[in-house]
Amino acid sequence: KAGVTQTPRYLIKTRGQQVTLSCSPISGHRSVSWYQQTPGQGLQFLFEYFSETQRNKGNFPGRFSGRQFSNSRSEMNVSTLELGDSALYLCASRTYQANEQFFGPGTRLTVL
Amino acid sequence: GQQVMQIPQYQHVQEGEDFTTYCNSSTTLSNIQWYKQRPGGHPVFLIQLVKSGEVKKQKRLTFQFGEAKKNSSLHITATQTTDVGTYFCAGPSRGKLIFGQGTTLQVKP
């Protein structure tokens, strides 16, 4: 089985812009979660989607949003980018019955 | 909200020495998961512990879940350079997976 894929792998944006990140889960996995990883804050949960519905949400401002499509692919959007949004954004998929998360390689976002 | 703390934050060992990282949760956990992230890589699932007092082994790695299901540990016997990376514990809380800050292991050959 192919693993979780994320595009793009690297992104450079300027403050105030918006960005959309994409995640394709492992075939058959209907749950997709997004995490933000920074040196200072570690791995922080953003949100989880299952069957196109947001099931859980972390403590992030409304500038962070996401969605999931009928084929389980997911996108994450960040609007009005701030310098502090620079991070590695990781997507993880799982079957809803299991807890094990399979992470993608991440998108490295740099905000200048 | 729930917090998951890990210590130490960093550990440097000589190859062949043992290594242990500890994980403590502010609340009782239904399960605890461990992940490893190599430098420049992404977290990779290692194991899940569910039962109180559970001990699981994977070759040189030994994982324990405390009796009160609030703490856990990962012990590596006779470290190798391939063990380098950051080890995270993670526990579920209200549908979210809360990660500890991780312990970064450096191994000197």
Q: Is A13 helix (H, G, I), strand (E, B) or coil?
A: strand
Query: Which chain B residue's Cα is nearest to A46?
Result: B96
Q: Which stretches of chain B score pLDDT less than 50? A: none
pLDDT for res B9: 95
**Chain A residues near residue B35 by CB distance under 8 angstroms:** 101, 103
The mean pLDDT of A41-53, rounded to a whole number, is 93
pLDDT the model gives residue A50? 94
Nearest to A26 by CA among A63, A58, A74, A61: A74
Which of A58, A100, A102 has its CB closest to that of B48? Answer: A100
Q: How confident is the model at residue A41 (pLDDT cuts 50, 70, 90)?
A: confident
Nearest to B96 among A45, A99, A106 (CB): A45
Strand, coil or helix: A85: helix
Bridge partner residues of A10 (DSSP): A108
Q: What is the pLDDT of residues B29-59, one digit of tens each?
A: 999 999 999 999 999 999 999 999 999 999 9
**Cα–Cα distance, A93 to B2 (Å, whole number):** 23
Secondary structure of chain B in HEC code, one letter for each residue: CCCEEEECCEEEEECCCCEEEEEEECCCCCCEEEEEECCCCCCEEEEEECCCCCEEEECCEEEEECCCCCEEEEEECCCCHHHCEEEEEEEEECCEEEECCCEEEEEEC
Chain B partners within 8 Å of A101 (Cβ):
33, 35, 43, 45, 97
Per-residue model confidence as pLDDT tens digits over A54-102: 999 999 999 999 999 999 999 999 999 999 999 999 999 998 788 899 9
